[in-house]
Amino acid sequence: MSLADSELTADAIEELYARGVTDGLPVVPPTRERVSRAVAATGRDAGELVARVPPNYGRATVEKIAVNAVMAGCRPEYLPVVVAAVEAVCDEAFDLHGVSATTNAPAPLVVVNGPVRGRLELNCGAGVFGSGWRANATIGRALRLVCVNVGGAIPGVVSMSTLAHPGRYTYCIGEHEEASPWDSLAVEHGFARADSTVAVLAADAPLSVYDQRSRAPEDLLATIAASMAVIEHHKMTHWGDTLLVLSPEHAALVGDARWTKADVRRWLWERLRRPVRELLPGRDGGDGLPEHVLRKFKDPAHDDTLVPKFRAPENIKILVAGGTAGRFSAIVPGWTFSKGSALVFRQIRPASLEDTP
């Protein structure tokens, strides 16, 4: 896919668009020199197979990943992060085949933890889901281009999302670990503080939660729970992995009260249960519990059995990100239809021993 310098036309950007290898925005022409620098930054052989990318199971070699990263605008030093993200989304637990073909809206969200955040100047603070930071923008975009150009998830051809969302251009954040009262997302899942990692989740767009007045964890979490209740629809149950992204101010409120992440998860999980009688299709909305679930209850219309919004408290994944001023947080719903997609981690492999913290 790479273009030799001599092959570049005066309008290489238009040529690449005509080839159908862009995301609709202009891309950087992947000259051999640029691609070679990107490959070298991984410390790996160009032909090394990193993964087979669903749904077409194209071969994502280091070189092919580098080509797409160059087109996305990545600096060479971003490549180890991109490679780790490609490995993660191709894990069966992520279900990239389902994510790529669904009519729902998810996009791969990349969450970066560890020392690499500082080295790459990856935004973890103010405007974390927004624009203005090259590392966030291009790493997320590179992953998306790999999914399209190597995996075949071409919008409107294979990828048939009814609406999609802007994260299908790019979706990458860092955790604001320094502002968190708890262990980071990665440490909580078994990595060392010195490890640099990516976590990927097939995710909808962030839902902002505004709460300026709460001064106790129970009050803040009641606000958050009411917003989480409407994920997909207000009667959806047994949902899977979802991110709760607490701003530093909200996290401090909870942490200062000595609440742990486990406390937060349990409180929300218990709050987000509703009796069967309130979950019937056609009652306060057309959707509701599916027929095969309702058959388990003798008299669903009067049954008080509590059914949880999330399969388990552990499906509520908590991290801290965003600016230190402003009492706003966000809910990022994961994709759970069929067997669903789970949060998947990979450690970022340094290009050389000198890069190891």
Supply the pLDDT for residue 357.
42
Average pLDDT, integer, range 212-227 = 98
Q: What CA–CA distance (Å, rounded) separates 148 from 165?
A: 16
Please determine, for residue 339, whether its predicted confidence score (pLDDT) is greater than 80: no
Q: What CA–CA distance (Å, rounded) separates 355 from 116?
A: 9
Supply the pLDDT for residue 6.
44
Q: What CA–CA distance (Å, rounded) separates 266 from 262?
A: 6
Q: What CA–CA distance (Å, rounded) separates 92 from 54?
A: 10
- Other CB atoms closer than 10 Å to residue 304's CB: what's the count? 8
Please determine, for residue 4, whether its predicted confidence score (pLDDT) is greater than 90: no
pLDDT tens digits for range 225-235: 999 999 999 99
Supply the pLDDT for residue 338.
60
Supply the pLDDT for residue 153.
97
| Residue from 94, 7, 21 nearest 54 by CA | 94
Amino acid occupying residue 339: K
Average pLDDT, integer, range 248-273 = 98
pLDDT tens digits for range 115-128: 999 999 999 999 99
Average pLDDT, integer, range 236-263 = 97
Percent of the chain at pLDDT > 90 equals: 93
Please determine, for residue 236, whether its predicted confidence score (pLDDT) is greater than 80: yes
pLDDT tens digits for range 41-70: 999 999 999 999 999 999 999 999 999 999
| Residue from 189, 209, 214 nearest 322 by CA | 209
Supply the pLDDT for residue 173.
99
Q: Can you tell me which residue has the tokens 């070189």?
A: 63
Average pLDDT, integer, range 142-162 = 97
Supply the pLDDT for residue 352.
53
- Could you say which DSSP state residue 348 is in? P
What's the CATH number of domain 205-272+309-333, 3.30.2320, 2.70.70, 2.60.120, 3.40.1130?
A: 3.30.2320
Supply the pLDDT for residue 1.
52
On the 0-12 / 13-18 / 19+ scale of CB atoms within 10 A, 301 is exposed
| Residue from 86, 89, 91, 77 nearest 42 by CA | 77
- Say which range, 10-24, 125-139, 266-280, has the weakest mean pLDDT: 10-24
- Say which range, 8-22, 28-42, 205-219, 307-321, has the weakest mean pLDDT: 8-22
Helix (H, G, I), strand (E, B) or coil at 249: helix
| CATH 3.30.2320-classified regions of the chain | 205-272+309-333
Please determine, for residue 337, whether its predicted confidence score (pLDDT) is greater than 90: no
Supply the pLDDT for residue 355.
47
